[in-house]
Amino acid sequence: MQLKFLGHAAFLLEAGEVRLAVDPFITDNPAAPCSVNDVNAGWILITHGHFDHFGDTLEIAAKNSATVISVAEIAKYCADKGVQAHGMHIGGSHDFGKFTVKLTMALHGSSIGSSPAQYLGNPCGFLITINGKTIYHAGDTGLFGDMELIGRLHVIDYALLPIGDNFTMGPRDALEAVRMLRPKKVIPMHYNTWELINQNPKQFQETVERETGIPVIILQPGESINI
């Protein structure tokens, strides 16, 4: 099983025939290591409606006959645009056959477009369980106390956590998130895409490993790890 970082908060998870894309923001993403035509996925998970997460969802879904998994409002928006979608909501889980998905809360917003923006429900995070491993993609979120509950109820193999600050947790709050979640490994995301969210991932890595003993893996856009 392979996890590939596509820059910002976008990932591609491959496990045999299952290919899951999360928040595929490729076009207009200065950190993207590929073009939208290079992203092949049968399932697309969307944490919220902002442009830098919803990204190229509709194009990728149409090209691959993929199913979008997200909160009900985003699923309905995608279905209205002609692509397959499966709506869920926070706290709910679903078995998709070869993997399961559970939605978690995220402290953020969710809308698409402007003048006016269209409301797309609550933002979320994902607990993805596949091949006996659980990956937590926190989405765009601030720190919240129920991360401790998430960590108590689930054995998290990899926690993908934003560290960019300004729009999400910064490194200091992400450290507290690691303490509460107690994952086996951490991968930082949502940083250095633009100057406003510039961070030093190496410093975050050193601090987390020193304070918690939990390994932090820094992925450059385009890099993959076997999990």
pLDDT tens string 94-109: 999 999 999 999 999 9
Residue ranges per structural domain of the chain: 2-226
**Helices within the chain (DSSP H only):** 51-54, 57-64, 72-80, 147-153, 171-181, 201-212
Q: What is the pLDDT of residues 11-63, one digit of tens each?
A: 999 999 999 999 999 999 999 999 999 999 999 999 999 999 999 999 999 99
Asked if residue 220 has pLDDT above 90, the reply is yes
pLDDT at position 181, please?
Answer: 98
Cα–Cα distance list, 74 to 68, 84, 94, 142, 203 (Å): 9, 11, 17, 21, 36
Q: Are 123 and 141 within 8 A, CB to CB?
A: yes
- CA atoms of 146 and 10, how far apart (whole Å): 24
Least confident of 2-11, 24-33, 58-67, 111-120: 111-120
List the one residue out of 181, 192, 129 whose CA is nearest residue 159. Answer: 181
**pLDDT at 118 exceeding the cut of 90:** yes
CATH number of the 2-226 domain: 3.60.15.10
- Per-residue pLDDT at 185 exceeds 90: yes
pLDDT of 214 over the 90 cut: yes
